[in-house]
Amino acid sequence: MQAVTDVPARFGAIFPHSRLVTATSTLPVVVLPALILLFLMNSSWYQANLIVFAAIGLLAGLPHGAVDLFLELGPNGVPRGQALVRQLFVYLLAVAATLAIILLFPAFGVGLFLAISAWHFGSGESAFNACRRGRLPRVAPIETIAYGIPLTVAPVVLWPDQVREIIDPLGGPGVTDALIGPARVVLVIAAVAVVITIARKTARTHWGEIGELTLLWVAAVTLPPLVAFSVYFALWHSPRHVIRTLPELPGNRRDLSGGHLVRCLLRYLAYTVPGTVGALAIFAVLIAVNSDATFAELQPATWAGALLAALTIPHALTILRYDLWLDRVR
């Protein structure tokens, strides 16, 4: 396997500077402040567009996890044959188990989902920051907490009514209220993590990163959670996550070192098809079973949220395993 500690060999045409990195670093930083301004001037427009935000977030974000099984995320290379079937089975099992936990123990299930999401988002930002500086990512818990909490745990404290509308249909009234206490504690810890992170970045003059971190928190405070999350997921987390894992797809490292970025992106896109179709098929089955009212009667939007949460767990654990491995071999 190619030396993983060799950033130029791994990322070739992407990091530290490429048009793709500039686009992914610019788009959300323009769109989020524009939405914040719009919302501060007139807050009524978003209610009518909530479903649009949710759909954009879901459709743009779904494919980024769909390649999980085809990535070379560890010492064993890309799984093939029996190994691929085994991993497919484990992935599906994790999706089913998470869905069951969320339906049977909603407060615990949603709390776990939020904690794992926070880690996944925060560690993704921390890793992307390192790559942008031409360095290999390392696991950085304090930076991870500072970036991960604003769009995951903070809304439970800052926007309880909106969170209630989305979360409580899963397990009945009381689910959100049960999470508010623990979320407050996490928010205090996150505030300390933000102060430490900003102090460290100030010392290293990483002003752009301080600006992005501030923007995430301002978005979390000023924008309704579904709006902030959808924009973040579609324009920020998912493209950055794709860029970071681009070299791990078979054939991509060779093309990247040859400067063929577009070819790599098209290959990535092709690999997303089976997983995305599979996830949409699972969604269709859930809706069909639901109309029988045999096990849980939920609105399609609630099922979509529950499925996204269920997909989050194997997706985030796959990437966590990769990050820990990368941390060990660096």
Ligand X SMILES: CC1=C(/C=C/C(C)=C/C=C/C(C)=C/C=C/C=C(C)/C=C/C=C(C)/C=C/C2=C(C)CCCC2(C)C)C(C)(C)CCC1
Smallest separation (angstroms) from ligand X to the CB of 281: 7
Which residue is nearest to ligand X, using beta carbons? 65
Determine the size of the site formed for Fe ion (CB under 5 A).
Answer: 1
Residue 132 or residue 241: which is nearer to Fe ion going by CB?
241
Determine the size of the site formed for ligand X (CB under 6 A).
Answer: 30
Supply the Cα-derived Rg of the chain in whole angstroms.
20
241 is in an annotated binding site: yes
Smallest separation (angstroms) from ligand X to the CB of 52: 14
H-helix or E-strand spanning residue 135:
none
Answer for the pair 98, 309: CB distance below 8 angstroms, yes or no.
yes
Smallest separation (angstroms) from Fe ion to the CB of 316: 7
Supply the DSSP symbol for 235: I
Answer for the pair 54, 307: CB distance below 8 angstroms, yes or no.
no
User: Per CB under 5 A, which of residues 241..260 are in contact with Fe ion?
Assistant: 241
Stretch that binds Fe ion, among 88-96, 189-197, 216-224, 236-244 (CB under 5 A): 236-244
> Could you please report the per-residue DSSP string of 82-130?
HHHHHHHHHHHHHHHHHHHHHHHSHHHHHHHHHHHHHHHHHHHHHHHHH
Q: Does 308 bind ligand X (CB under 6 A)?
A: yes
120 is in an annotated binding site: yes
User: Per CB under 6 A, which of residues 155..184 are in contact with ligand X?
Assistant: 155-156, 163, 166-167
> Could you please report the per-residue DSSP string of 211-234?
HHHHHHHHHHHHS-HHHHHHHIII
CA distances, 253 to each of 72, 90, 259, 303 (Å): 11, 27, 10, 37
Binds ligand X (CB under 6 A): choice among 20, 32, 68, 217: 68
Residues forming contacts to ligand X in the complex (CB under 6 A) are 61-62, 65-66, 68-69, 88, 91-92, 95, 114, 117, 120, 152, 155-156, 163, 166-167, 225-226, 229, 275-276, 278-279, 308, 311-312, 315
